[in-house]
Structure formats: structure tokens, C-alpha cells
Structure 1
């Protein structure tokens, strides 16, 4: 018997996360690795666990494919994608997800470097003489 799948995409800066949720054993796999093996630091794992505290996670199997960016932006992209999937999976939790703004897209990007400057806005020190 084939179960029901829910999938969605989350983005943060240059990171893109594709999430597939189905009912099954309690598992989170990111790029076919355990979450604790993929994210070696504590902070990104806590970021992802914020959304999982809202939902009855005991009966969900979560598979994630994430590419690009750093480990923190990847964690935030995964969090966004999971919240979108949970919105599809359980409509009763939609009000909580909207109140906490978990599925809201953050469109800030790194500003490009301009010619003649050191960074995007940093200049060389001005000398009068």
C-alpha cells in the first residue's frame, strides 16, 4: 500500500530545500544522512526542531534534499519547507504556523560588490593630502 506524500520547497538566501513528508517511523533524513550527522552544530538542529515541536512528529517520516548556502541558511530553508509541508498535512496547525510566521519568505540577499570599492559599500579611507 502506497502512503500519502506531501512535498514542498523552502528557500533562504542561496539555499534550497526540498522536503517530502509521509506517515511512518519517526525519522528525519537530510541528504540521506541523519540530522545529527549532517548538521554537526547544535544551532541548526534547534532551528529545525522549532517547527517539529508544533506537530505530532512521532508518526512522520521526513526526507530532505538541501543544496547551496551555509549550514544556517540550509537549516532555515529546511524549516520553511517543513512548515509548508505540515500546513498541507494538517490544516488545523495552519493558524499556528501563520502566527509564528514560519512559512514566510525572507527575500534579503547579499549585496553585490561595486567597482572601485573594497566591498559592496566599504571604501578606502579618504586622504586630504
Structure 2
């Protein structure tokens, strides 16, 4: 079962299938990720399935683009969507939505493009009359 998650510039694809490899992110085991905060974000959807599900299935997540936190949040969304699709459980979906809506629903905010007459998207160059 395939699922996709996006956050800012990061795009994650998650695949769930029968097997015993556990959860891998870009080829690395979830336990091999050094940053505990990153690991916690990615593994959050696993709290909604039993331990038996994790041991009997392979979850492979591929993430590209964006920064570290954007990638973590994209992987989290992709993993949650893949779990809901694979299990087909409305109860799991409802639990996830009640816990945190961003587990299943992407954040539509993107970086606003820079305009002329200013250093950033909304800021304007200062004007002085001397």
C-alpha cells in the first residue's frame, strides 16, 4: 500500500507490505536515526497500531527535498496515511484525526514568493527623505 505526505518543500512516500524489516526511512532503520525529536515525530503514527502490526509488516519511507523538520513531518503524514489505507480501519482514522489532524491532512501553507520593491515577500525597502 502506497501513501504520500508533503510539508513545505519535502515530499515523502510510504509503502507498507508484509514482512519483518520494521520501519525504514531512506534505507535506515528508524532506531538508527540519531535525533530523538525527529525519531519521535516520524514514529508518532505507530502509536495507533498494535505492536503485532509493526513486527509483521515492512514500512519503507522515502523522503526528498526540504529541511529536516519538513521531512520529518512529511514522513509522519505519509506513514499515517499508509497505515490507515493498509488497515482500512475507520476507527484508527478517527483516533488519528482526534489526536492531531495534521497526521492525515497536509498543511497547505507554502513559502510566499518575494516581490520587487522589497527584500522579502512582504517587507518593503525603507524610504528616507534627506
Task: Bin the TM-score by the shorter chain.
Answer: 0.7 to 0.9
Alpha-carbon deviation of 1:23?
2.9
The unaligned stretches of length 5 or more in structure 1 are 1-5
1:35 maps to what in 2?
A: 30
- Deviation of 1:128 after TM superposition, in Å, equals 3.4
TM-score normalized with structure 2 length: 0.83
Aligned to 1:127: 128
Separation in 2, partners of 1:16, 1:65: 8
Q: Which has the higher helix share?
A: 2
Q: Runs in 1 of length 4+ with deviation above 6 angstroms?
A: none
Q: Secondary structure at the match of 1:106?
A: coil
Task: Supply the RMSD in Å over aligned alpha carbons.
Answer: 1.7
CA distance in 1, matches of 2:108, 2:24: 27
Taking the aligned partners of 2:67 and 2:30, their CA distance within structure 1 comes to 15
CA distance, structure 1, for counterparts of residue 3 and residue 10 of structure 2: 14
Q: TM-score, normalised by structure 1?
A: 0.84
Other structure's SS at 1:66 match? strand
**Structure 2 unmatched ranges of 5 or more:** none
In the alignment, is the contact (CA less than 8 A) between 1:47 and 1:79 conserved in 2?
yes
Deviation at 1:22, TM superposition (A): 1.7
